């Protein structure tokens, strides 16, 4: 018999803590690239950026929890982790309120960041909040189109790394954007795992993800490309880092193991572990990449 979690546990699970590193990794990398270029770190903007990024991801996750339930996508036979709204652990109104509260707290962090960084941070902040809501909200949610991977690559790669770099330097460089693109690819792989796992249920419920559009074999190839491209493209950083650009390759064995599991395992709950491990791989790669800029 399934055990009903406490209210605190339900909120914890609804925030999806196993993937929150996806919002932490780009901030770390953007700040490390900035340290390499200017030789210092502005700690208050860094801490505010980490908090704002985590809150936006939490708010997005909560809106997703509600949105998928209201659209009938989170059915009892879904393969993914149980969702707070669908299981009745938390009401729709409570989860919506939690999502808006997370966004409001992120907005408060953004007030300081705008004071520090100016109008570019206004654009980044408003775009991030709007995209977080639109991922499963509104009349044409992003998650219900074949755009999820692109969305994540842009906002958890280019925007998050580039924005974090800008907060430290008030500028933007090609090196920062290259690092952003690499980190974003691994973030996109996390979404690919999610959509591959849920392909059959999504197809039945009109959730037209890239995996639904292309099928399982093509999605396996996309995952492999998302996992390997950040390693293949590391030479683009050699001009700035020299041999240190190869440091993230230390995480390649884990990436290869995950690709092997992705190809070998039959669709099922095992992909919940692959998803969490993919987020962990992104964090490991990001930490090694950040280290290559610092040492």
Higher pLDDT, 5 or 170: 170
pLDDT in the model for residue 2: 60
Mean per-residue pLDDT for 223-237?
98
| Other residues' Cβ atoms within 10 Å of the Cβ of residue 61 | 23
CA angle in degrees (0–180, nearest 5) for 72-78-83? 70
Q: What is the pLDDT of residue 206?
A: 84
**Which run of H or of E encompasses 174?**
helix 174-197
Q: What percent of the chain has pLDDT over 70?
A: 98
Structure confidence by residue, pLDDT tens digits, 61-87: 999 999 888 887 776 667 778 888 988
The string of pLDDT tens digits covering residues 244-279 is 999 999 999 999 999 999 999 998 899 999 999 999
Mean pLDDT of the chain: 93
Tell me the pLDDT tens digit for each residue of 115-145: 999 999 999 999 999 999 988 877 788 888 9
The reported pLDDT for the residue numbered 137 is 79
Inter-CA distances, 148 with 81, 101, 237, 295, Å: 19, 24, 27, 35
**Local structure of residue 17 (DSSP, 8 states):** G
CA distance 288 to 295: 11
Residue 77 pLDDT? 65
Answer for the pair 168, 44: CB distance below 8 angstroms, yes or no.
no
72: its two tokens: 């009938």
Q: Is residue 191 very low, low, confident or very high in pLDDT (cuts 50, 70, 90)?
A: very high
The tokens for 268 are 């099922």
Lowest-confidence region among 179-188, 195-204, 271-280? 195-204
Q: What is the DSSP string of 231-282?
A: HHTGGGGHHHHGGGGGGGGGGHHHHHHHHHHHHHSPSSTHHHHHHHHHHHHH
Average of per-residue pLDDT across 176-196: 97
Q: Which pLDDT value is given to residue 204?
A: 87
Domains of the chain from N-terminus onward: 18-294 (1.10.600)
Average pLDDT over residues 211-222: 97
pLDDT number for residue 233: 97
Range in 142-151, 187-196, 240-249 with the lowest mean pLDDT: 142-151
For residue 69, what pLDDT is reported? 86
Of 121, 110, 103, nearest in space to 167 by CA? 121
pLDDT of residue 280: 96
Query: What's the token pair of residue 156?
Result: 């958890």
Mean per-residue pLDDT, 146-153: 94
Beta strands in 118-183 (DSSP E): none
Are the C-beta atoms of 200 and 137 separated by less than 8 Å? no
């Amino acid at each position: 018999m399934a055990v009903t979690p406490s209210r605190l546990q339900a909120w914890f699970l609804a925030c999806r803590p196993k993937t929150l590193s996806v919002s932490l990794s780009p901030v770390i990398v953007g700040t490390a690239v900035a340290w390499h270029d200017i030789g210092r770190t502005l700690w208050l903007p860094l801490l505010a950026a980490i908090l704002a990024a985590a809150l936006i991801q939490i708010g997005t996750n909560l809106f997703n929890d509600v949105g998928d339930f209201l659209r009938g996508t989170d059915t009892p036979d879904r393969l993914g982790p149980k969702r707070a709204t669908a299981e009745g652990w938390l009401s729709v109104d409570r989860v919506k309120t939690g999502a808006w509260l997370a966004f409001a707290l992120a907005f408060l962090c953004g007030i300081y960041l705008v004071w520090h960084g100016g109008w570019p941070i206004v654009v980044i902040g408003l775009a991030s909040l709007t995209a977080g809501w639109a991922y499963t909200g509104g009349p044409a949610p992003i998650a219900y189109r074949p755009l999820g991977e692109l969305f994540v690559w842009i906002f958890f790669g280019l925007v998050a790394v580039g924005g974090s770099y800008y907060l430290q330097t008030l500028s933007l460089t090609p090196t920062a954007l290259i690092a952003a693109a690499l980190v974003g690819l691994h973030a996109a792989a996390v979404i690919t795992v999610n959509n591959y796992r849920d392909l059959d249920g999504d197809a039945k419920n009109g959730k037209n993800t890239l995996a639904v559009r292309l099928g399982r074999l093509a999605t396996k190839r996309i995952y492999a490309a998302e996992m390997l491209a950040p390693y293949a493209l590391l030479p683009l950083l050699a001009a700035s880092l020299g041999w240190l650009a190869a440091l993230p390759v230390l995480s390649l064995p884990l990436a290869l193991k995950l690709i092997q599991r992705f190809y070998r395992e039959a669709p099922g709950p095992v992909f919940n572990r692959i998803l969490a491990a993919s987020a962990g791989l992104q964090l490991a790669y990001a930490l090694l990449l950040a280290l290559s800029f610092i040492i």
